[in-house]
Amino acid sequence: MTDTARTEAGGGQAAGTGRVRPAGDAALLLDCAGLDEVLGLAEALRRARAEGRPELDDITDVVPAARTLLVGVTAGRAGSDRLRRELERLEPVAPDETGTRHHEIPVRYDGEDLGEVAELLGITPDEVIARHTGSRYTVAFAGFAPGFAYLTGGHPSLDVPRRQTPRTRIPAGAVGLAGTFSGIYPRESPGGWQLLGRTDVPLWDETRDLPALLQPGDTVRFVAADASALPAPDPANRAVPARTGVPGDAGALRIEVPGLRPLIQDAGRPGHTDIGVPPSGALDAPSLREANRLVGNDPHAPALELTLGGFRAVAVGILAAAVTGAPAPITITRADGETEHIADMRAFALQDGDVLDIGVPATGMRSYLALRGGIAARRVLGSAATDTLSGLGPAPLAAGEELQAGPPPKAAAGHPQVWPAMPGETLEVPVVMGPREDWFTADSRTRLLEQSWRITPESDRVGMRLDGETPLERAITGELPSEGTVTGALQVPPSGLPVLFLNDRPVTGGYPVIAVVRDRALPLLAQARPGTVLRFYADG
C-alpha cells in the first residue's frame, strides 16, 4: 500500500542563483564570505525591513550563522523571484552600535577541558584563562538552544576543535570554546565544546522582557571569579515549571492514565529563531486546527497532543471536547455507568465524574484532544507549546494533574467530520533539493530519491531518524560551519543516514542538509509510525 503527499498546491521552485540557495518552501540561505559579511547583511536586512520595503514583507525570520544567513519567509514564498533579486543585491553595512549592551560574566575556571586546551595551544592553563578574560567578545548570533550565544572576537590563539566525542551531559552555566567561538550553555544539555569553567549568570529567563540575556550585537567580557563566589550549579537547570490547573470557572480533566508523554501544543513560537528558539507547536497542525474548530475555539488554541493514545481522564465539572488526528477509539463512561463510543470527529459533552478513554489508534501516530475554551496554560513567548528539545513550555503531563479549560468562546461548535486518511506502509514525500546537495556525490543525490528509507524507533519531535540499505556519501568531507536549519530539513551526519528535522529541531546545525521536505507533506509525516517506509521525490 502506498500513500502520497502530492497535491496540486506548492508548484515548482527555481534553483538558487549566486549566493542565494533554496531551503525548502519557507526559507532561503545566503552564502557569505565570512562572519563580518553575515553580520553586515543581517544589519542591512534589518534596516531595509524597518523602512517598510514591500518586497521584503514575506520575511519572517533572519538567522545569522558563521558563514550564512538563513532568511525565513512566508510558507510557499521562497520561490519569489522578486525576493531573491532583493537578497542578491543586498550589500552589507556596518552594524549600528547605538545602544549596545555590555555584560561582565564571572567564571570559575575549573572546566574539565582546561588542561587539554592548554596542551593543544602549547601554553599553561593560567595563560588560557588570561587570554579568555583579556578579550572583549561580541555576540555574533544565537543557536543550538534558547539563550545560547556564539561569541566572537576573542584572542586569535584560542582556536580549538570540538571534542571528537560529544558529552551526553553538560551542566547549565558551562563556559566553553569551539573553533574561534566562545559560548555558555544556558541549561543542561549534550554538547561537544571544550569546557573551561562555569558561571551562575542566568542566560535565559522568560520573566525578563528579553528572555535571552545575550542578544546579537551585545559585548561580553569574562572575569575570573573565586570558587567561593559561585554557588553549586542549579540541578533543575532553571527548567520551566510548567503546570496547568489555572483556576477558573470552566471544567477540567483530571488525568488518570497519561499514556506516552502527552504534551500541550498550540501553533508554536514562530519568529524567535534569532534568539535560539525553535518553532515547536503541533506536528500535525491541520488536526490541531480541526479539533479546535469542532469545539468552537480559536484554531491555534492549546490542545493535548497524544502519541499512540492510551489516555484516560475524569471530568471535573462540565466540558465540551473533541478528538482529531490519528483515529483512536474513544469511550465515555458516564457517572451513572452507561458507556458511549465516539466513532467520528465531533464535539462531545462530558459531565462531572465522566471518564474519557482514548485508546491506541489502529493507524497514525498522533491524536489531538481539544477542550472548549482551550487548555489554560502559562505562555512562553506567546505560546503554551511544549518544546522537548529546549525545555520551554509545559512539561509532559503525569497522572493526577488537571487540565483546566479556559473561558468558553463565543463561536459555535463545528460540524462532525470523518477521520482523515493516515499513512500506510509506504509514504511518498516531495522534497526540494538543497541547500547543500553539492556536499554529496552524484550517486548519493540519486540514491536519496531512488532508495527506500525506513523511520526508526529512535525518532521523536526533534527529528525522524532514517535507515537505508546504503548510506549517503559526501563529496566534501570537511566540517560545515553551523548554519540555520528549517523544519523538514534532511540533515546528514557522518553516518550517512539522514535525520528529518521536525518542529522541536535545533535552530542551527553543523551537518549538511541535502534536501528539504515540502511543507504540505509535514502533517502526514507527523502521523507516520516507526517502520514506515519513505520514498522521496524531487518536486521543484
SS3 103: strand
Please, are residues 4 and 10 in contact by the beta-carbon 8 Å criterion?
Answer: no
Q: What's the confidence (pLDDT) of residue 98? A: 64
Phi, psi (rounded to 5 degrees) for 496: 80, 5
Q: Is the pLDDT assigned to residue 463 strictly greater than 60?
A: yes
Residue from 133, 118, 139 nearest 38 by CA:
139
Read off the pLDDT band of 249 (50, 70, 90).
low
- For residue 437, the 8-state DSSP code is G
| CA end-to-end span of the chain | 26
Mean of pLDDT values over 453-476: 97
What is the Cα–Cα distance from 112 to 110, expressed in whole angstroms? Answer: 7
Q: Is the pLDDT assigned to residue 232 strictly greater than 50?
A: no
Read off the pLDDT band of 3 (50, 70, 90).
low
**Cα of 512 vs its chain's centroid, Å:** 17
One DSSP character per residue, 218-286 reads -EEEEEE--GGGSPPP-TTTT----------SS-EEEEEE--EEEEEE-S--TT-GGGT----S-SSHH
Q: Which residues touch 144 (CB under 8 Å, ≥6 apart)?
A: 183, 191, 276, 482, 506, 507, 508
Q: Which residues touch 365 (CB under 8 Å, ≥6 apart)?
A: 307, 308, 326, 526, 527, 528, 529
Question: What pTM does this model have?
Answer: 0.87
Mean of pLDDT values over 4-10: 38
What is the Cα–Cα distance from 482 to 260, expressed in whole angstroms? Answer: 33
Residue for grid cell 496540486: 8
Q: What's the confidence (pLDDT) of residue 14? A: 34
Q: Is the pLDDT assigned to residue 350 strictly greater than 80?
A: yes
SS3 311: strand
Lowest mean pLDDT among 210-214, 240-244, 247-251, 326-330: 240-244
Read off the pLDDT band of 143 (50, 70, 90).
confident
Mean of pLDDT values over 479-506: 94
Amino acid at 292: N
Neighbours of 153 (CB within 10 A): 17
Q: Is the pLDDT assigned to residue 145 strictly greater than 90?
A: no
Read off the pLDDT band of 238 (50, 70, 90).
very low
Residue from 262, 263, 265, 253 nearest 289 by CA:
265
Looking only at the bridges linking them, the beta strands covering 311-316 and 339-342 are: unpaired
Looking only at the bridges linking them, the beta strands covering 348-350 and 319-325 are: antiparallel
Q: What's the confidence (pLDDT) of residue 520? A: 96
Q: Is the pLDDT assigned to residue 17 strictly greater than 70?
A: no
Q: What's the confidence (pLDDT) of residue 2? A: 53
Q: What's the confidence (pLDDT) of residue 207? A: 83
User: How does the average pLDDT of the chain come out, rounded?
Assistant: 90
Q: Is the pLDDT assigned to residue 28 strictly greater than 80?
A: yes
Q: What's the confidence (pLDDT) of residue 540? A: 78
pLDDT tens digits for 332-345?
Answer: 999 999 999 999 99
Specify the higher pLDDT residue, 17 or 250: 250
pLDDT tens digits for 73-127?
Answer: 988 888 788 899 999 989 999 877 666 899 999 999 999 999 999 999 999 999 9
- For residue 87, the 8-state DSSP code is H
What is the Cα–Cα distance from 132 to 153, expressed in whole angstroms? Answer: 10
Lowest mean pLDDT among 92-96, 485-489, 505-509: 92-96
Cβ-count burial of 477 within 10 angstroms (0-12 exposed, 13-18 middle, 19+ buried)?
A: exposed
Cell of 77: 514564498
Cell of 346: 465531533
Q: Is the pLDDT assigned to residue 9 strictly greater than 50?
A: no
Q: Is the pLDDT assigned to residue 522 strictly greater than 90?
A: yes
pLDDT tens digits for 213-223?
Answer: 998 889 999 99
Q: Is the pLDDT assigned to residue 189 strictly greater than 70?
A: yes
Lowest mean pLDDT among 239-248, 294-303, 429-438: 239-248
Mean of pLDDT values over 436-456: 98
Q: Is the pLDDT assigned to residue 209 strictly greater than 50?
A: yes
Lowest mean pLDDT among 1-10, 153-162, 515-524: 1-10
Cell of 51: 523602512
Specify the higher pLDDT residue, 143 or 197: 197
